[in-house]
Structures are given as structure tokens and as C-alpha cells.
Structure 1
């Protein structure tokens, strides 16, 4: 059949198939432009099925899913091949929901009996989507239509159940296969790895060897991660030996899995040797060794390797950037992560949602609200609203940067909320001292059907402790195992000690510790010691401190807190003994510092700081505040000065505290803002707390301050903590 062509274009040519005996008497109106496939303008109703499939496949081959679907929808009775082609295409293009809809349509309409290839296409779709309900239906269809023991379909069903993390389904399919090949065994091993059962994966691998099925490279790259999870260096070495013996040492996937295995087994030297001996180092190989350094605490080596990777011109992909950014965060270097993100943008690399979520986590750790807001704007510009992980990261970022109201707004807009999302908003309210709201959110979480876990209860109980909600806290604690099958751990018991201690029930808190079915942790004794500071109970403080000195002999916070209690009680001799004990053990007090963001830049202050350009104005402001406070009847709480000085020297010493300096600097540089945010690495002292309350009243500014324990929201002379922290 010849089309007349002019300048490479054939337009509006009506193709008459009636002269050919093999075609029915139909007319298909086609438009062919520059060699493109035709755009259907007049749809045939009785074209032979093989022609339908041919045109659909041609369109799909060009990636034109829309035209393929248009042709498919025009067919009155599409055959099974057409259904298969379209379902497979939707799956390949990541449109699993549409693929499942098509399969459901063919299944429910009963117009066409699904063959094994349709079921195979649907199984691959469910593997990609993780839809367990549909997966079970597809398995049922396979059995019903007589394909239950088909090897190719059975392998796909095992893979499908593995990716849906449904072990019993995979086991049933595997057991019903009359014949098993290397793909069957590999998929079965992968299923156990995906379901977090590495021991079973290795057991299946051993059984595979007994069945005389030779593992291939895919099998090995699947089972080696099981050795990583178990940190089983012996098993890993055995498999490495098998790799060398069978000539698979050039396979990059196997090598990368081995590098990761050695790193997870704390054998970084072996990982390095393997990496340097790999024949063809590509991006994946570099990513794995960089991740290996990070996982072994080798931050500098990881960063150096990343720089070397760039200098050698290795192509950086999204995984490369995600690996190094996440590694910096896990290493406690959020600022380095943010710097790398800046480099990534300068090089024109496009961040994906994993990158953005990691950067939001870095912003949360470094309290960088400005950059966190920029990422939020990026989400809005790109219309990324439905991603659960990213939205949860936004909730956490705003909460840790002092923006609790913004956290609530984002949380309320989330269409889907899982346990992690609920935990995040509950913990956010707890750290901001809103225990009632944390408890209310917990009840809403239960009503929504989300299942609480250990972290949920830690968040709720922490909120109860900060808000002195004793009865509510004990009720929640008692309900854990009874109503929700969550066994309390040492962290939950510590929370109850804190609940009782902050409410002044010190004797009850001590009795609770003595009756705990688990060994009291440092958190439990620390909670009791903190309560002793609030209520000035020296006797119980001695007991708690002695336990802490045994459990955490190098934690300076415990010594300083007990020292403060003794100084407040004017037990100078005993306080001196604590100082001597610190010196003898080589324990150094962590220097206090505070920081505040002004004009998109962070300014840090230490006690008695003189380095700031506005230091004269800062001290003048604080002297003025101190005079006004005295006139108003406030007097400095000099018990927080840790030296035996006279009264005036103590007052001067209090004015030097880093949090006061940071607040004063923030107030002096307000420029129309209604609030400032200040952060401190240690607990805020009582005199600073009173002073900042007074400043919030006289200046009329909201001051949000985060110390080592919680957030304080100062406004109109009051603090959200109600003077208990």
C-alpha cells in the first residue's frame, strides 16, 4: 500500500482497505505527519484484533500512551492482547493506579477471560504499587484460571507478595510451584529480606544450594544485604568466596553489595580494598563507598571521597547528593548538609523529594527557619503537596524552629496521615509545652484508625510531664499494654518519673523508680534530679546524683545540676567536693552558648561575650532592664550564680549570661518584627527566665526560646512553661 508523499508529509489520506480480502469493509481516516503514526479521526468498529494490537503497540513504542488509550477506548470488544499491552504500558510508566483500574475492569466485566499474560502484567503492577488487596485478588484469579503452578507467573506472584511484604502469600505460591528455577529462589530470598527476616533469607539461600540450583549474580546481590542486616561477617565472607570461585567478581551489583556488607560489619578496610579493586568504578560504586564511610563514622573520609569523585568527573546523580547530604545529617553536621545542598543547586542538579526531605531535616537540626521556608516555597511552586514523608518533614522543621502554628497548619492540610505524621505533631506540641493539645491529638489519632507505637507514647507522656498532667499521664501509661499492645520500655518509665517529679510528687517518683520492672536508666534518675532542683529536695538529689555518677560518669550535666542544687542550699563545702570530683574524673562543663537569627544570619553569644559590634548597646539595654525590674519589685535570682560572690558581683555575673545577650541583640535589631527566636545549648537559668518574661512585657515582643529541654514562649510577662521546666 503506497501513500502519495509531498515534502515528507501525508495529510488526510483516506485509506481504503475494502480491496483486500483480509480486511473487512471499513474506512480508517488517518493523518500521518513527518513519519508519525496516525492520529485516529474516524474510528473503525470491526478492525481485526491483530491490527488493533499492532497500532496500540506502535503508539506505546513511541511513548504516546494517550493515543494508545484513545484507540483502545474506541474498540468495542478489545481482545486480551490489547488489555495486556495497555496494562503493561501503564505499569512501565509508573501509573499503577490506572493499570489496576484496567485490570479490575476486565476482571469485573467478564467480557474477556484473563490469560496468564494479563495476570502477569497485573502482578507486576501490584508489585510496583504494593497494593496487597489487589495482589490477593490477582493470585486468586491465577489459581481460578488454572495458572497456579505456572513457573513464570508464579515467580511474578512471589515477587509481588515480597514487595507487598506479605510472607504467607509468597510462601504459598513458592510451595505450590512444581518446578522452581533460579528466579523463584531469588525472589523468595528477596521476599524475606524485604520483610525484615534476614535469617530466613539465608536459610532459603542454603536450601537453594541443597536443591542444586546455582545462584546467579542477582541472587547474590539479593542475599548479601541479609548478611549486612545481621552484621554476619562470616556469612558475608563465605559468599564473597563463592563470588570469587565462580568468577562473578566483576559484577558491579555483587561488588557494591559486598562493599556495603563489609561496611555494616565494621570491616571498613575490607570495603576499601574491594572498592579499589573493582574493575569499573561507576557512580553506584562511589555512592556505596561514601555511604560505607558515613555508616562507620568516617565523616571526613566520606566527604573527601565525595570531593574526589567530583574531581574525577564521575557523573553525580540524585543518589550521590542524597547519600552525602543524609550522611552529613546522620553525622551531626546539618550545616555541612545545607552547604552541600547549596553546591548542588549551583551545579544545576535537580533535587528530588528525598533530597528535599533530607534538607528539611538538616534545617530542623540547625534551626534554620529561613532555608526551611525556602524549601517549603519550592514544594508549593512544584505543587508537591501529597507526599507524606515530605509533609511530615515540614511539620517537624517548623516545630523545631519554633513555628508550632505553621506545623499545625501543614498537618491539617495533609490528606493522608500515618503513624509517623501523628507522632511528629504530638511530639511537636510536647516540646512546646502544650500537653493538653498533645493528649487531644493522641485521641484524634486513635479515632482516625492510626496505630500508636512506642514513640507515640513517649511523645504523649512527655507532654503530660511538661504540663503537670499527672492523672492523665498515668492513665495513658496504664493503657499502653492493656489497650494498644505496646510494652512500656525504660523511656516510658522515665517519662512517668518526670510526670510525678514535675508535679512535686517526689516521694512517689522515687518509689516508682524502686518498683520499676526494668533497670532504671539515666533518664529516670535525671528526671528525679531535675525535680529535686525545682522543689529543692537535697536528700533525694543526693540519691539520684550518685546513681547518675555511676551510670554516666562522664556526663557534665549531672554534676552541674547537682552542684546547682547544693549551691542553692548553700552547702558550699559539699558543692566544692562535686567540683573536685569533676576535676579528678576529667569531666569538663559544656560552655553555655546562645544564638539568634537576625537578617538571615545567626549570631552566637557566650557568657560575658564582648565580641559583638553592638556589645555596648546590649549591656546598656540589659542594665536598663535590670533597673526597671528593681523599680517594679523584681530582684535578681542570685542562687543561679555558681560562685560564692557578694551580692553586687552576683548581679553583674547574671547580666553576662548568653541567653540574655542573645535576647537583647535580637530586640535591638527587630526592624518591625513582632517576635524573635533564641536557642541555647543548655538549660535556661531561673534569673534569665524571669528577665526574659519581663522583657516580653515591657517591650511588647513575643520571645520564643528553645533550651536543652523544651521551648519557652514568652509573651506579656508570662511563659508557656508556667515556670516549671
Structure 2
């Protein structure tokens, strides 16, 4: 046995330790009778009737009656009574103790099993393991296995599975090694749990060893084993190995596709995930709602908001009932593109399907109405929520911040503090930019002082974005903060931080600086970043850079109608009527295309 796992090697469970759980009536009967030596035998038909009663009582959960009947059988059974009949009755009663969470009665029954000498019986050992595991008494379950001489993998599989389910991964792998060392051959129900434990522990070395033992066994493994192998390598980050195993599978089910797609999405490889999803659709394989939601969520994360809504429409057309996750994705997409009409339709659909009661849907509704400038409806939904989580407060705060409603945002922030909710990084990241936009630097400094007492900034990249924004009127300080991210704090600026610098320069009228940082940053500019620059060019009258940014934005064919309005207003202010006409054509095509795609939510 490996010495690295001594802390969970089970202690022996002595019979003397369990005798106190035996009812007194059984102890009294022990002196004068046994199953094989009855004090007052009755007919086998009566015993059969009593055994049937035990099964009936056990199946209906009447444990006290079942135990009384068992005591009566012990008193009246004859030597000719079938041992198998008694055995199966005890098995039924033990199963009932497990399913009805009756630990004291189950413990008593185990004591009775020991007195009958049946503690090593292959029918009872797995049920005893399941009983103790269901109450998280894994040491007792382990002891039951060790005290038996059963060479079948079933009880070991049950214990390993319970260890993994309870995230006792070291114990699971130790038990697997112990099982193999005893000469017990793992089967197709052993490996999925062991492979999952390896994946969760990121134990690549042992995971490969288990994989080798699977190949060396020369058996034809079922889908559970193949899916578990793909999942394990995906968790290791070895997506190429996972894909090779996926392609070599003799057959695949919906779980196989879900696992492989999840391997890609967990590493942010959305292109590969989308490609695999397209292939799944072409093959006509049934697609689970988990897969639909995963891909739709991927579209949302990559900025393909219209594609996310198209997927939800396909789900509805295909007869799939949207769940709370799907509604959350759809409402988030609507909030990003300002599609309040579609958002309201989805709200109605969520009400009809009773999904509007989920907190994630309610929070998404608040965000959607806020971003679509319907703060009244957003606040109504906010007030209707009795138990408000930090996400709910942040959703409402973000809505007011987005609309530059500083007074209402400050009121919500104070109410949140009074309710005992501690602000997190998202809260502060929402409130600080608002202070900058309303030119209330003093309030910004107060918030800055508040969060520096509670947060280590190195751990929250979002806060750096807000801190740079707070100095929107102080470009030098903003530049210093941005440069110190990498040189002092070792934080590599991401796309959000570059976007913040573009906004910073734009507000100050330093449009060439903004253009330069977009051109030299190591990321592809987002549509929001181009829109920020266009808005600044319109304010400061720089049509040259504005046209350059507008061309870049139009090439992306953004899904937010507000961007087209922004470009049109810039061209109108500059008197560029030909360009204005072109933008209006884009807008008309976008509206027609968008309106025709999502009538599916109208019922």
C-alpha cells in the first residue's frame, strides 16, 4: 500500500462496537433461539408470509413494523426455512434504511447481519457499502469491504464512486490502487469514477497510467469509459489528445459531443467548439439543452449576440423548452444590442414557462431593461425581489451607472450597504466610471478610499479599468496607472484596459493618441472600442479620424443599432451626406434582417 495515504486507512469495525445498536428483544432471543434452532417452530407458509410482509413494509417505508416482523421471524423460524428468503428480506430492509435515511435502524440491522454471520455475503456487502456511503461514513464502508473476501468489483466501485461524488479524490485513487493490489479486476463501472478523480486532481501521470491499463485489458469498453477518457484529457488541457480519442470512438452519444465541446469551451477555443457544434447538427444527433446553452453562451462571450439569439430561436422551433440559463443568455444578448422589443417578448415567454422566478433570469431582466433605457421597469423588478443577492444589487447599480444617473446609483449603493451586502469588485467597477463621467472627482476619491481598505487591487483586473477611468480628466495620472500595471504590479493589460485608455484619450480630445493605442495594441479592436472613438471624434470635430474609425466599424457589421445611429450623427454634423446615406442603408438592412429572424418568441 502506498504510504502517502495513511490518514484515511480505515479502522476496524469490531462487532463489540456495534452490539449496542441491537434491540434488547434480539439480545434476549439470542439466549434461547436462533434461526436454525427455533423455540417454537411454525409452518413455512407462515414464515414466507412474514418474509413477504418485511419486503412490503420496507418498500413502503414502515421500518418499525418491518423490524418487529424480523424479530418475530427470528423467534419462529425453523431449520428448514430458506436462508435465501431471509437474506433477501434483510437486503430489502437494508435498502429501505438507505433510501429513507434511517441510520440508527440500518446500524441495528448491520449488527443483526453480523450476528447471523452474513456480513461477508456478496448480496449484503454492496448494500452495506451503499448504506454507509450515503451517510458519508466512508471509513465504515471501507471497513465493510476490507473485512469481506469478495473479489467482485461491485462494492469497490460503489465506494470509489461515493468518494468521487464527495470530492474525496485522494481516497478514491487510494481505494482503486488497493482494489488492484488485491487482484480485483476493474470493470467498465470502475474506470469512469477513477478517470474523473484523475481529471479533477489534474493528476496527469496517474491518469495516463489508468489509460494504459484500460488499453492493456483488451476489452471493448462502453461509452462511459470513452467519454470519461475524453473528459479527463480535456481537464488536463490536452484538447488535442481528447479530440483524437473522440474521433476514434466506435460510437458516440449526446454526452460524447457535450464532453468534447466542453473541452474546447473550457479553454476558450470557441472557434473549434462552434465547428464541432455545426458538425453535430449536420449529423442529426439529438442535441441536449446543455449543449445548446453552452454554444449560445459562447456566442454571447465572443460578442456574436445575434448568433446567440438565432440559436435560441432554433431551440424554440425545434420544440426545446428554454430553461433559466437559456433565458439569461437571450436577455443578455438583448441588453448588448439594445433590442428591448425582443427582450420584452422573452420576458413574456419566461413568465409563461415559470422561468421568471429564477434569480439569474430576474437579474438578467434588470440588466436588459436598464441597458435598454427602461430604468423604471428595471427598478420595479428590483423592488419585487425579496432576497437580493450581490448580483442583483450590481445589476441595478450598473443600470444607473450606464445611464449616468449618479444620484440614483448613490442611493442604491447606500441601500446595499445598509442591507448588509458587502460590495465586491464588480460593484466598485460600476460606480467609479460613473463618478468620472459626471465630473464628480471628489466622490470618486471617496469610493477609491472605501475600496482600498477592503480590496487588494492586484487580484481584480476590472478595478484597474475603473481606476484609470476615474482619472478621465487627468490624462497623465491615467497613463501612469496604465504603465504601472505591468512594470510595478506585473499585470498584463487586457483588451478592457486598452479600451479604457482609448476612452481616456477621447474624453481629453487626444484623438491621435487614441488612434495610436488602437493601432499598436496586441488585440483586435471591438465594435465598442470603435464606437468610443467615433463618439469622441464627433464631440471634438475630428472627421478624419472619425471616418477612419467608422469604416472599421461598418466592416464589422455590428449588431448594436446604436452604433449606426452614432455614425450617422457624426456624418450629419460634418455634412457628409453621401456617407450618411450609406449608413442609413446599413441601418435599414439591419432592422429588416433582425426583425424577421425572431418572431418565434411572439406567441
Q: Which of 535, 548, 551 is equivalent to 1:656?
A: 548
Contact 1:429 1:435 in 2 (8 A): yes
Deviations 1:327-384 (A, max 9, x none): 3233323343232222223323222333333333234344556665554454444543
Distance 1:572 1:402 in 2: 27
Residue 226 of structure 2 is aligned to residue 289 of structure 1: no
- State the SS of the aligned residue for 2:189: helix
User: In the alignment, is the contact (CA less than 8 A) between 2:367 and 2:378 conserved in 1?
Assistant: yes
Q: Of 408, 415, 432, which aligns to 1:497? A: 432
The equivalent position to 1:186 in structure 2, one of 130, 141, 144, is 130
Which stretch shifts more, 472-481 or 321-330? Answer: 472-481
TM-aligned CA deviation for residue 638 of structure 1: 6.1
Of 475, 482, 486, 1:538 maps to: 475
Distance 1:335 1:156, change over 3 A: farther
Q: CA–CA distance in 2 between the matches of 1:474 and 1:288?
A: 50
* Superposed displacement of residue 606, structure 1: 10
Question: What's the counterpart of residue 121 of structure 2?
Answer: none
Contact 1:328–1:336 (CA under 8 A) maintained in structure 2: yes
CA offset digits 1:148-189 (Å, max 9, x no partner): 9987456446446xxxxxxxx676776776658643543553
Contact 2:94 2:127 in 1 (8 A): no
Answer whether contact 1:364 1:400 (CA < 8 A) is retained.
no
Partner of 2:283: 347
Q: Equivalents in 2 of 1:255, 1:691: separation in Å?
A: 63
Deviation at 1:317, TM superposition (A): 0.6
Task: Select 2:161's aligned residue among 222, 234, 257.
Answer: 222
Matched, 1:416 2:354: yes
- Name the CA shift for 1:391/1:688 in 2 (closer, same or farther; >3 Å): closer
Structure 1, unpaired ranges of 5+:
1-113, 123-138, 161-168, 192-200, 596-604, 608-625, 640-649, 667-675, 705-725
Of 552, 555, 564, the match for 2:493: 555
CA–CA distance in structure 2, aligned partners of residues 172 and 692 of structure 1: 80
SS at match of 2:491: coil
SS for the counterpart of 1:294 is helix
2:464 to 525, 530, 535: 525
C-alpha contact 1:325 1:337 (8 A) present in aligned 2: yes
Q: Deviations over 1:461-498 (max 9, x none)?
A: 22222122334434444444754x65433333333334
CA deviation vs aligned residue, 1:115-148 (integer Å, no higher than 9, x gap) = 77667667xxxxxxxxxxxxxxxx7x65698789
CA gap 1:545/1:514 in 2 versus in 1, 3 angstroms: farther
Residue 31 of structure 1 aligns with which residue?
none
**Contact 2:537–2:546 (Cα < 8 Å) also in 1:** no
C-alpha displacement at 1:661, in angstroms? 3.8
Matched, 1:515 2:427: no
Q: Deviations over 1:591-613 (max 9, x none)?
A: 32559xxxxxxxxx999xxxxxx
Structure ranking higher in strand proportion: 1
- Is structure 2 residue 330 aligned with structure 1 residue 438? no
Q: Which deviations, in whole Å up to 9, do the C-alpha atoms of 1:193-241 show, x marking residues without a partner?
A: xxxxxxxx4xx322433566668133233234257x46x5x44542232
1:286-685 matches, cutoff 5 A: 286-309=226-249, 314-368=250-304, 372=308, 375-385=311-321, 387-396=323-332, 398-399=334-335, 403-414=339-350, 415-417=353-355, 418-430=358-370, 432=372, 435-446=375-386, 451-480=387-416, 483=419, 486-516=421-451, 517-520=454-457, 521-533=460-472, 536-538=473-475, 541=478, 544-545=481-482, 548-549=485-486, 550-551=488-489, 553-555=491-493, 557=495, 558=497, 561-562=500-501, 565=504, 588-592=521-525, 594=527, 636=538, 651-657=543-549, 659-663=550-554, 677=559
Distance (Å, rounded) in 2 between the aligned partners of 1:120 and 1:249: 34
Q: Distance in 1 between matches of 2:510 and 2:537?
A: 22
Tell me, in whole angstroms, the C-alpha distance in 2 between the residues paired with 1:218 and 1:335: 38
Partners of 1:377 and 1:563 in 2: how far apart? 36
SS at match of 2:559: strand
RMSD, aligned α-carbons:
4.9
2:471 match: secondary structure: helix
C-alpha spacing 1:324/1:209, structure 2 compared with 1 (3 Å) = closer
Match of 2:138 among 187, 205, 215: 205
Query: Structure 1 residue 318: deviation in Å?
Result: 0.9
C-alpha displacement of 1:590: 2.0
Residue 369 to residue 638, structure 1, CA distance change in 2 (3 Å): closer
* CA–CA distance in structure 1, aligned partners of residues 229 and 390 of structure 2: 34
Matches of 2:104 and 2:415, distance apart in 1 = 37
Q: Secondary structure at the match of 1:473?
A: helix
Distance 1:508 1:523 in 2: 19
Matched, 1:259 2:195: yes
CA distance in 1, matches of 2:179, 2:568: 64
Q: Say if 1:473 and 1:693 are closer, same or farther in 2 by CA, change over 3 A.
A: farther
Gaps of 5+ in 2: 1-51, 71-89, 114-124, 149-153, 589-603
**Equivalences, count:** 478
Q: CA separation in 1, counterparts of 2:506 and 2:292?
A: 48
Q: Which has the higher helix share?
A: 2
Aligned counterparts of 2:384 and 2:398: Cα–Cα separation in 1? 18
2:570 alignment partner, one of 687, 691, 697 = 691
Question: Greater shift after overlay, 486-495 or 538-547?
Answer: 538-547
Instruction: Please give the alpha-carbon distance, in whole angstroms, between the structure 2 residues aligned to 1:566 and 1:383.
Output: 50
CA pair 358-210 structure 1, distance change in 2 beyond 3 A: same
**Aligned mates of 1:287, 1:486 — CA distance in 2:** 42
> How far off is 1:563 after superposition?
7.5
Cα deviation, residue 515, structure 1: 2.6
1:273–1:692 distance in 2 versus 1, CA, 3 Å: farther
